[in-house]
Every structure is written in structure tokens, then in C-alpha cells.
Amino acid sequence: MSEMNYRDALNLALKEEMRRDPSVVTWGEDVALYEGSFKVTRGLLAEFGEERVKDTPISENTIVGVTVGAAMGGLRPVAELMTVNFALLAMDQIVNHMSKARYMFGGQTFLPMVIRMPGGGGSQLGAQHSQSLETFFMHCPGLRVAYPATPADAKGLLKSAIRDNNPVIFLEHELLYNSKGEVPEDPEFLVPLGKADVKRPGEQVTIVAYARMTVLALQAAEELAKEGISCEVLDLRSLAPLDEPAILASVGKTGRAVVVEECWRTCGLGAEIATRIFENCFDSLQAPVRRVSGLDVPMPYSRKIEKLCIPQKETIVQAVKAVMQGKY
């Protein structure tokens, strides 16, 4: 084990997979000479050369389209979009081609491709650069969606995504890049797609979260433990496929659930998870499922107002206490 930050864990995953498999290539805006907007691709050009690490024009639709073709042609491309917000310019390729090619060809082709995208709010980047769009991709059949919370999961999930024969949307929260944690040095360390992880065992309330919200949920659980409230924190890690059995098993044990998401509340991931809990755990529930979500507003630039629009540790603590009292 080595301690490293989230950014370096992703970088290590890319290097290990490119060393292991010559068909793995990476491209995107400023990923080569500049080494990426968030420096995740640091050192790749120097080690692997311009044939495998390429800077692209500023055209997200083209980046994804070329990645689809390269994957169908036998490569394992990893493309980086500068932020998830720019993926909106590539939605035709993502929805109509990337997600459907295997289906349209009757399974006669594979699409072993990954689209990496930083996202999330909290950095004062304004309404057009602070969005959480994970539910856009989850809604589209044929895509796998990963969103790790820790450096170890970032490394293991990215390696699994690169090795997978299906197209993967790989999301990275911008505020997690500097977060640190223990990361296995084993180059064969993998975190399977579609498997949630209990980050903190508990007995009274299940907190379901992902990405940066998992970090805040763990902080909230620590604070609540001082008041005698035992919370189980379940980190989804993968959003598609969603690990429904893990969610139901945890809620079936605790009898209470709080679902935390940074994305907008309306038609959000929390609504989907809450519905599945109600459908499958109704007789086990001791209180209504409570959702903690981002507000249904464009993200403000003001730091103080921006903070009000994104779930915080205190918001999660309040939600857990309400559930313990049987309130919604």
C-alpha cells in the first residue's frame, strides 16, 4: 500500500494499463503536452509517445466519435473530456452511437472504450461548469457509469473500465483530486464495476452515497456516532449497473435509509434508489426514505450561495436525525 492522492491514483491506473496492453491509448484536449487540465495524464506523453497519447481539437463530439470508431477497430481508447459539462456537445455520439453500437450490430462488435470526465460543483466555476450530470448517462441503456470516491477505488475502477468490453463513462469529482488515501501497489488490483462497498458498517441507518457525497456521508456518520446513532455508509462506486442487492441488504438490516446525491433532485438518482427501496424493503422500513439532493437551480457563482445548493455534512446529519424520528 502507498498513500497517494486521487489524481495520482488515476494516473497510475492509466500508466499500468498502457504498459500492460499496447492497444490502450489516450487522447483529449491538452492531455499530451499540457498533461491534462487536472494533471491526470502527467508523464504519459514522455513514456508512451505521441502515437498513443494525442492532443485533440476542441470538439467533444469528434473526440467521442473517433473513440467509438477506434474501439470498434480494435483499440482500447481512453478519452478525456475537459469537464462533464462539455459532454453535452457530444451527446449525439454518446447516446446514439457509443451506447448502441453493440446492440445495433447484434453483439458482433465490442466497444472497449472509456470517456473520463471531471465534474461536480463547489469550485466557484459558475452555472455552466459546475453541473452533476451523472443521471443523464445512467438513463441511457448500454453505458456503464463509474464514479469513485476514494483514491483506491479510482485506481481499481479505472483499470476495470479500461479492461471492460463495454463503453464506460468514468466520472471524477473535481474536489476529490487532492484527497489522499491508501492505494494498493499491485498492478492487478481491480475494483469490479457494478459492486457497491460498505465504507462504514452500522446498525440503525443506511446512508447511500457516491463520489464526494460518500466523503461527506462518512464525516456525518462520525459526528452522529458521538450521539449514539450508528450509520452504515454504502458507497455505490458504480451507478450503472447499480448494485441493487447491496442497497437492499443494507436497508433490510438497518430499516432506515438516507440517499445522498449532488445532482438535481428532480428525476435524480436518489428518486430511483428510494423507489427501489420502497418496492423491495417496504415491510422492513421503520421510517420513510429521505433524500438529500442538490437544489433544482443553476449553480450560483457566489461561494456562500453555491454551498447552499450542494449537500453538506450538516445537511446529511439533519436528514439522519429526521429519519431516526420517523419524519420525512
**Catalytic site residue from 16, 35, 129, 232:** 129
Evaluate whether 28 touches 81 at the Cβ level (below 8 Å).
yes
Task: Please choose, from the candidates 169, 164, 166, the residue with its C-alpha nearest in 3D space to the C-alpha of residue 146.
Answer: 169
Distance CA 244, CA 250 (A): 10
- Beta-bridge partners for 78: 26, 114
Asked about 60 being catalytic, the answer comes back as yes
Asked about 129 being catalytic, the answer comes back as yes
CA 3 to chain centre: 21
Task: Please choose, from the candidates 218, 137, 206, the residue with its C-alpha nearest in 3D space to the C-alpha of residue 176.
Answer: 218
Assign 182 to helix, strand or coil.
strand
Grid cell 469513485 in the structure block, residue:
148
Distance CA 280, CA 282 (A): 6
CA dist list (Å): 322 to 89, 254, 292 = 41, 15, 12
Helices and strands in the chain, H and E counts: 12, 14
**Catalytic site residue from 16, 35, 60, 172:** 60
The DSSP code for 84 is G
54 Cβ neighbours under 8 A, 6+ residues apart? 25, 26, 27, 31, 32
The DSSP code for 287 is S
Active-site positions?
60, 129
